[in-house]
Amino acid sequence: MKKKNLIKNLIFIGAIILYTVFCCVQTPITQAVTMDGETAVGSMWSLVPPIIAIGLALITKEVYSSLFFGIVSGAIIAAITFGTGFEGAMNYIVQDGLISNVADSYNVGILIFLVALGAVVVLMNKAGGSRAYGEWAAKHIKTRVGASLSTFFLGVLIFVDDYFNCLTVGSVMRPVTDKHQISRSKLAYLIDATAAPVCIIAPISSWAAAVSGTVEGVNGIQLFISTIPYNLYALLTLIMVIFIAVSNVDYGPMRKHEVNAIHGDLFTSRNSVYPDDDKPSTTRGRVIDLILPVIILISCCVLGMLYTGGIFKGENVIDAFANSDASYGLSIGSIGALIIIMIYFMLRRVLKFTECMESIVAGFKQMVPAILILIFAWTLKSMTNTLGAGEFVKGIVENATAVQILLPMILFLVALGLSFATGTSWGTFGILIPIVTGVFGDQLVNAAENGIPSMVVICISACLAGAVCGDHCSPISDTTIMASTGAQCDHVNHVSTQLPYAMTVAAVSALGYLLAGFVQNVFVVLGVSVVLMIGVLVAIKFIFGNDNKSVPLVKKNASASKGKKK
């Protein structure tokens, strides 16, 4: 096992070194701006910081230092490029990086939402709602398949926002999946695979609003709806999740985690990342003490988003979602829900006022790992923006437009790579969709008005699918971080176990977009892609079997000594 890990680490290190060599060949870092305007900004150097961060995270299995070294490498590149020296590098890290991102109003809204949601989860646990729900679920959900499918269906139902999806599904389903010995890594995958992939095909969601905002001159929501049947990665991911849940087949690193979970170790390694300060304070908790707070939370957050979109100023529901501010809406919704839930528990006399106040602090403590990772990830994204990652990718796509038949697959792969490297799907399709609409201006109007499948719809779908795929895989993606937090799973464990599953779907999706460039018929493209996906899954089942219990227990890491399920 150690030899195998050493080979993987050497491959990652070699890839990082090779990419850096290519950067030097393309544009020397010391060549800030030449007579002909060539610059290191907007070149291959712009992707070096995230590549270093991702590579180190996969090698060292430690995400905080990996992200920080990625930030430092970006600051050094920027300082050399712009000639600002040591003082400039420190400014890029601290002032323009950490401080600016923490002070950003949108980011602060997300952090407030995280803390409020953490407090709600602790309140439900202290009130005994989670324990009561776990006991109820144990009587009604009797198999691992049932627990996995329940997680999937709950994730599909909460389609309004991916952050909200990840944290809510995680807090509700953890007791159920723990009871049926499903590893935390598997739970994180189930959460992540029904967060962004569901939101990107839901017309009423914060993602639909973000996509529609990148298109000008047409009805953005109508165009978004026309892309749904071509969003192969999202649709095929849902098929993959159902297959994995029903067949009980696992492969790659996930197999090790599931085998250990069946034998009692839910974490495999690094299980003490999240504190456990939310023991029940009473035995009088009932199932309603979990269900009602969740309903209140969902209702308040949806209402908050509709409020920011102008629902009380005469806007209809769809337009209100399209114009909503997800960060502000989730913040006011979660704070309002927190207040109502505290009042409910005090009226029920299952919690005292002092216990409710203590739960806010405990909820904040539970979210500290996610908050720290998010702040570093946001800073790394701003570093890639400073170095012109968008300009670099824009140049690649514009050069590829000459081969229009291959353009959907090229856009899918470019979006996947950019989203993986920068950790942002919204930023990815924000860069790529305007390029597509510029290339296919006339077709865009026809597609939006008539709903006729055309190359522009396929290309925009490819951008969205690739962005979600990269977001799904990236260790520095907000949604991936939230899925780890919701499952209370070590972040690197989640990334490494999910990657083979995501890449399986990505490979089939790429072939689907290759076909779409030639056929441009949604029934043929989607039908062939689904059949191919099912064929691949059947082959996986044939190769890896369907009974994890028959596999010998994998020896745990030393850090997993306290990982047994209680």
For residues 427 and 555, give the distance between their C-alpha atoms in angstroms, rounded to a whole number.
41
* Mean pLDDT over the full length of the chain: 79
Model pLDDT for residues 4-56, shown as the tens digit of each residue: 666 666 776 777 777 767 666 666 665 544 334 445 566 777 778 888 887 78
| pLDDT (0 to 100) of residue 52 | 84
Rg (CA), the chain: 23
Model pLDDT for residues 51-89, shown as the tens digit of each residue: 888 778 777 777 778 888 888 888 888 888 777 778 888
Residue 39 has φ and ψ, to the nearest 5°, of: -145, 155
Percent pLDDT > 70 in the chain is: 79
Residue 271 pLDDT > 60, yes or no?
no
Residue 232 pLDDT > 90, yes or no?
yes
Model pLDDT for residues 103-144, shown as the tens digit of each residue: 888 888 888 887 887 888 788 888 888 778 777 777 788 888
Band of pLDDT at residue 453, cut at 50, 70 and 90: very low
For residues 226 and 351, give the distance between their C-alpha atoms in angstroms, rounded to a whole number.
49
Q: Are the C-beta atoms of residues 233 and 465 closer than 8 Å to each other?
A: yes
For residues 416 and 157, give the distance between their C-alpha atoms in angstroms, rounded to a whole number.
26
Residue 129 has φ and ψ, to the nearest 5°, of: -65, -40
| pLDDT (0 to 100) of residue 53 | 82
| Cα dihedral across residues 251, 16, 421, 520: positive or negative | negative
Band of pLDDT at residue 449, cut at 50, 70 and 90: low
| pLDDT (0 to 100) of residue 452 | 44
| pLDDT (0 to 100) of residue 3 | 61
Residue 279 pLDDT > 70, yes or no?
no
Domain ranges in the chain?
A: 1-103
Helix ranges restricted to H, 61-104: 63-82, 85-90, 100-103
| pLDDT (0 to 100) of residue 107 | 84
Between 559 and 89, name the one with better pLDDT: 89
Between 360 and 82, name the one with better pLDDT: 360
| pLDDT (0 to 100) of residue 500 | 93
Band of pLDDT at residue 216, cut at 50, 70 and 90: low
Q: What is the DSSP string of 477-493?
A: -HHHHHHHHHHT--HHH
Band of pLDDT at residue 157, cut at 50, 70 and 90: confident
Between 380 and 203, name the one with better pLDDT: 380
Q: Are the C-beta atoms of residues 78 and 39 closer than 8 Å to each other?
A: no
For residues 482 and 484, give the distance between their C-alpha atoms in angstroms, rounded to a whole number.
5
Measured from the Cβ of residue 438, the count of other Cβ atoms closer than 10 Å reads: 11
| pLDDT (0 to 100) of residue 5 | 63
Model pLDDT for residues 364-390, shown as the tens digit of each residue: 887 787 788 778 878 887 887 788 776
Model pLDDT for residues 463-494, shown as the tens digit of each residue: 999 989 998 888 888 888 888 888 888 888 99
